[in-house]
Amino acid sequence: MVNPFFKNNGPFKISELLKTLNIKDDGIDLNIEIHDINDLLNSKENEITFFHSKKYRNLANKTKASFCITFENLKIDLPKTCTPLIVENVLLSTSILTEKFYPSSINDEFDNSVKHIEETNYQKKTNFGKNVLIGDNVSIGSNCFIGHNSIIEKNVIIGSNCSIGSNVIIRNSLIHNNVKILDNCVIGKHGFGFFPKKDNNLRYPHIGIVIIEENCEIGCSSTIDRGSMSNTVVGKNTYLDNQIHIAHNVKIGKNSIIAGQVGIAGSSILGENVKIGGQAGISGHLKIGNNVEIGGGSGVIKDIPDNSKVMGYPAKNFRDFLKENR
């Protein structure tokens, strides 16, 4: 799929990519053209992918990528159709190539393509407040409301019957039908991802987007960061209260309810019908099952199976929490 938000500067010859990564070209056909960089699951022939942890062995087995940035000890899990490129730091090398393909995904300067909505086609089709700014190639469905001072940056797609509050900023996002995004939200900025480096950290590119499925409500002053390689997703009919922070790559299932000031760290995956009490926090890279209830104030630091109710810091079985705190 063509990424509508970040321009792909490829294709690049594999010889150029090897040079960028400072890798020797042992028996590789240097004329092969590489069209894109993608994750193990979604990459195709003539694309490059990355594989940095045993955890993803099952995906590595089946990847269709022609090349894979990986470690020496992981290369045996790749199919024969995929040539391993051995590096010292897989994520860093991946970041460097991603930036090569998508240089505009590193920085989030303000969108200077925006115009006042009165100067666009949307002035007749949309209900809008004062000082609304709309970027190039934005698409807005019928019967939408956009409040005062809100900014919809370039290429954003908004469905029908959506209501965007005032002082909202949306970029790099796909908003489905019947979504409400309340005042002061910031949706779609790059995530908090970088390689710590003395005196000058190295940001890594974020080519993922934010997808908010239909019938969602996002409370005031919430922030939802876009994904790095995959997307950040809020499932259908999920409601978020105020001051919530959803980090990059998080996926939240449908019909979930998340109370105020909750934070979900990067890359965690939540099932459907999850209920989270106020101020709870969920660490990164966790899997939270379907129908899970997490008590207010909890700190979740490990996976939670389906149909569980937990509370505490660290979060544990709800009855155990009550018993210990009688």
Tell me the β-bridge partners of 300.
Answer: 282
Residues 40-69, interacting with a copy of itself (CB under 8 A): none
Cα separation, 299 vs 315, whole angstroms: 6
- What's the CA gap between 191 and 204, in Å, rounded? 9
Contact present, 225 and 211 (Cβ < 8 Å): no
Give the residue with the Cβ less far from a copy of itself, 84 or 266. 266
State which of positions 287-316 bind a copy of itself (CB under 8 A): 296-297, 299, 301, 312-314, 316
Q: Footprint of a copy of itself on residues 152-211 (CB under 8 A)?
A: 163, 165-167, 169, 182-184, 186, 189, 192, 194, 196, 198-201
Q: How far is CA 163 from CA 67, 114, 176, 308, 313, in A?
A: 44, 20, 11, 34, 36
Residue 209 tokens read as 């987007």
If the CB atoms of residues 18 and 186 are measured against a copy of itself, the closer one turns out to be 186
| Under rule CB under 8 A, residue 323 binds a copy of itself | no
Complex with a copy of itself: residue 230 or 256, whichever CB lies closer: 256
Element (H, E) at 164: strand 163-164
Given 283, 290, 291, 317, the residue binding a copy of itself (CB under 8 A): 283
Which residue type occupies 256?
S
Q: What is the DSSP string of 218-285?
A: E-TT-EEPPPSSS-EEE-TT-EE-SS-EE-TT-EE-TT-EE-TT-EE-TT-EE-SS-EE-TT-EE-TT
CB of 304 to a copy of itself, least distance (A): 15
Residue of 52, 190, 248, 285 with catalytic role: 248
Cβ count near 207 (within 10 Å): 26
Q: Are 234 and 254 a contacting pair, CB within 8 Å?
A: no
Question: Restricting to residues 85-104, which ones interact with a copy of itself according to CB under 8 A?
Answer: none
Residue 237 interacting with a copy of itself (CB under 8 A): yes
The minimum distance between CB 46 and a copy of itself, in angstroms, equals: 35
Q: Which is nearer to a copy of itself, 11 or 129 (CB)?
A: 129
Of residues 125-144, which lie at the interface with a copy of itself (CB under 8 A)? 127, 129-131, 133
123 versus 201: smaller Cβ distance to a copy of itself: 201
> Is 248 part of the annotated catalytic residue set?
yes
Interaction between residue 219 and a copy of itself (CB under 8 A): yes
Pick from 17, 85, 114, 292: which binds a copy of itself (CB under 8 A)?
114
Among 35, 52, 75, 148, binds a copy of itself (CB under 8 A): 148
Q: Which of residues 259-278 bind a copy of itself (CB under 8 A)?
A: 259-261, 263, 265, 277-278
Residue type, 217: E
- Cα-to-chain-centroid distance, residue 299: 22
Cβ count within 10 A of residue 1: 6
- Give the residue, chosen from 206, 225, 230, 270, that forms a contact with a copy of itself under the rule CB under 8 A: 225
Tell me if the bond preceding 205 is cis, omega within 30° of 0. no
> How far apart are CB 67 and a copy of itself at their closest, in Å?
31
Q: Among all residues, which ones are annotated catalytic?
A: 248
